[in-house]
Amino acid sequence: MRVELEALSRSFPGVRAVQDVSLAYEPGRLYALVGENGAGKSTLMHLLYGMLPPDAGRILVDGRPVRLAGSQDAIRLGIGMVHQHFMLVDTLTVAENVVLGAEPGRWGRLDRGAARAAVRRDAERFGLAVDPDAPLESLSVGEAQRVEILKVLYRGASFLIFDEPTGVLTPQEARGLFAILRRLRDEGKTVVLISHKLDEVLSVAEIIDVMRRGRHVGRLAREEAGAERLARMMVGREVLLRVDKPPAAAGPPVLEARGLGVRRRPGQAELADVSFILRRGEILGVAGVEGNGQRELAALVTGLLRPEAGELRLDGRPLRGLTPRRARDLGIRHVPEDRQRTGLVLDMSLRENLILGEEGSPAAGQAGVILPGRVAALARRRVAEYDVRVADTRQSARALSGGNQQKLVLARELDGDPRLLVACHPTRGVDVGAIEYIHRTLLAKRTRGLAVLLFSSELSELLALSDRIGVLYRGRLTAVLDADVVDEETLGLYITGARGVADA
């Protein structure tokens, strides 16, 4: 099946999400569609999948123009889409989920045997290992994604769109998915992988399309594309994939931890005997496999959790009975790991989000009254200063891309002159342009004396930003390493406990 997009355009209030995009897809090839968050990738594919009507332009399948009134029409033509958020029913089995909505059988009776057989056949053919009888709730995210793919295949798709499928996967699962994508291609299907991660695109796709601000800015074969070139095309300027870190000029201690500990509880990892010093103008990275106490350490420093042993000191004074309120008043700021759940109130406007936690301060009003003029001015300044790309600060935070949401949180937490920043995965799920910006901002604040406790699961990020890196393993700080002398390989040994336990 040959698919052509001809001069497609689609606008939303205030944005031209897709502008005059023309593309052709040949069968049996593996394509990637890359671009920063908000570049219009999803919108373009929604046009093709019939979820949105275009404002202008047309879609041709095998040379004939088609009109898609909904995704049913697209499915009928053999176009399928695997969404980032699965649309599966937890209580049904894999086979039931796959056939749901297109059940085999007659007169409302589900032919379970046929369903199972169909699932098994497709699973085998495309290398999608799942047990058809397993209840969905027992599956890992990677397996659930395979069910979603099976579902699309069951409906006869020969053109498959994957919208940022790796965002929810572990590196191993992602590699498994790429193998599946290749297999699908080998079986003659057309595959389009939407992504903003350059390394994964370069490792699987044959042909890479780049979008920027709603426009298609180029198509490259894998051989001619490189990470720098793609990044430049996506962002529209030179991007430093690695920012330069000026030499450290650490001052007196800002934060001191002495023998910190909390017990293990349901939903809480253990932390024992954690001691360190974080100085003014220093970034202390914290490395570790998720669940080794990072979350608890961040919660202790920000007042969300009370230590059961040991103590914290800020500028030499003990922090007893710390609450998030008091932490904030003392100049401790927090970029939490889940910006959508804990960093922002998504249904509030940008403006309102920019005063969250400062709603009672003179920056927002006085005497218990919020002054909209002050709030608007503050929001305008912060949005401009921290490069949040929005037309109107009255729009809701939900409408922003991930990168912009994160910059919004940073604008709020970094503005003013905080003493200490606890930054948790500050670039998780954020596009390259925003990553560069966030890294540069953190380093600039460090130069101006900010102390940063940086949590990240990206070892390269920790190495690029930190002055020293502490390793948490099973709740203990098993090493504090100089970031200039350690490399990713070594750090990998530490975080898996292969090194550093004995000498702790």
Partner 1 sequence: MPRKPWRRALALAVEALWPPAAALGLSFAVGTVIVAAIGENPLRVLPLIFAPGLGSADGFARVLFDATPLILTGLSVAYAFRAGLFNIGGEGQLYLGAFLAAWVALALPGLPRPVALPLAVLAAAAGGALWGAIPGWLKARFGVHEVINTIMMNFLAVGITGWLVERYLQEPGQMIPHTAEIPAAYQLQPFARGPAGAWLGLDRANPLGASLLVALAAAVVVALVFRRSVEGYRLRAVGLSPPAARYAGIAVGGVTVRAMAVSGALAGLVGVHEVLLYRHRFLDNFSSGLGFLGIAVALMGKNHPLGIVLAALLFGFLNTGALEIDIFTEVPRELVVVLQALIILLVVSFSELALWRRRRRRRREEAA
365 bridge partner residues: 370
Cα(429)–Cα(166) distance, rounded to whole angstroms?
A: 10
Cα(122)–Cα(231) distance, rounded to whole angstroms?
A: 37
Which residue, 165 or 303, has its beta carbon nearer to partner 1? 303
Rounded to a whole number of angstroms, the minimum distance from the CB of residue 52 to ligand ADP is 8
Rounded to a whole number of angstroms, the minimum distance from the CB of residue 81 to Mg ion is 12
Coarse DSSP helix, strand, coil percentages of the chain, rounded to the nearest 5 percent: 35, 25, 40
Q: Is 349 in the site for ligand ADP (CB under 6 A)?
A: no
Cα(167)–Cα(174) distance, rounded to whole angstroms?
A: 9
Torsion of CA 328, 415, 384, 427, to 10 degrees: -70
Q: Is 40 in the site for ligand ADP (CB under 6 A)?
A: yes
Q: Which long-range contacts (CB under 8 A, 24 or more apart) does 267-270 make?
A: 268/296, 268/305, 269/293, 269/295, 269/296, 269/475, 270/296, 270/474, 270/475
Which residue, 105 or 360, has its beta carbon nearer to partner 1? 360
Question: Which one of residues 84, 268, 447, 490 is an interface residue with partner 1 (CB under 8 A)?
Answer: 84
Q: Is 411 in the site for partner 1 (CB under 8 A)?
A: no
Question: Which one of residues 251, 252, 360, 416 is an interface residue with partner 1 (CB under 8 A)?
Answer: 360
Rounded to a whole number of angstroms, the minimum distance from the CB of residue 42 to partner 1 is 4
Helix (H) or strand (E) holding 472: strand 468-473
Question: Which one of residues 19, 21, 31, 38 is an interface residue with ligand ADP (CB under 6 A)?
Answer: 38
Residue 71's φ and ψ, nearest 5 degrees, are: -70, -25
Cα(108)–Cα(487) distance, rounded to whole angstroms?
A: 61
Q: Is 422 in the site for partner 1 (CB under 8 A)?
A: no
- The pair of structure tokens assigned to 111 is 């032919």
Q: Is 15 in the site for ligand ADP (CB under 6 A)?
A: yes
DSSP 8-state assignment for residue 248: P
Q: Is 39 in the site for ligand ADP (CB under 6 A)?
A: yes
Of the ranges 23-31, 185-193, 347-355, 434-442, which one interacts with partner 1 (CB under 8 A)?
347-355
Q: Pick from ligand ADP, partner 1, Mg ion, none: which does 35 bind, CB < 5 to 8 A by kind?
A: ligand ADP
Binding-site residue total for ligand ADP (CB under 6 A)? 13
Question: Which one of residues 35, 54, 176, 418 is an interface residue with ligand ADP (CB under 6 A)?
Answer: 35
Q: Pick from Mg ion, partner 1, ligand ADP, none: which does 488 bind, CB < 5 to 8 A by kind?
A: none
- Shortest CA distance to 336 belongs to which of 291, 299, 289? 299
Cα(480)–Cα(487) distance, rounded to whole angstroms?
A: 13
Question: Which one of residues 19, 42, 349, 353 is an interface residue with Mg ion (CB under 5 A)?
Answer: 42
Question: Helices then strands (H, E): number in the chain?
Answer: 16, 22
Q: Is 22 in the site for partner 1 (CB under 8 A)?
A: no
The residue type at 222: R
| Binding residues among 358-417 for ligand ADP as defined by CB under 6 A | 399, 401
- The pair of structure tokens assigned to 134 is 């397993």
Q: Is 352 in the site for partner 1 (CB under 8 A)?
A: yes
Rounded to a whole number of angstroms, the minimum distance from the CB of residue 328 to ligand ADP is 30
Helix (H) or strand (E) holding 121: helix 112-126
Q: Is 51 in the site for partner 1 (CB under 8 A)?
A: yes
Contact residues toward partner 1 (CB under 8 A) are 11, 13-14, 41-43, 46, 51-52, 83-85, 163, 302-304, 323-329, 334, 336, 341-348, 352, 355-357, 359-360, 364-365, 368-370, 372, 391-392, 398
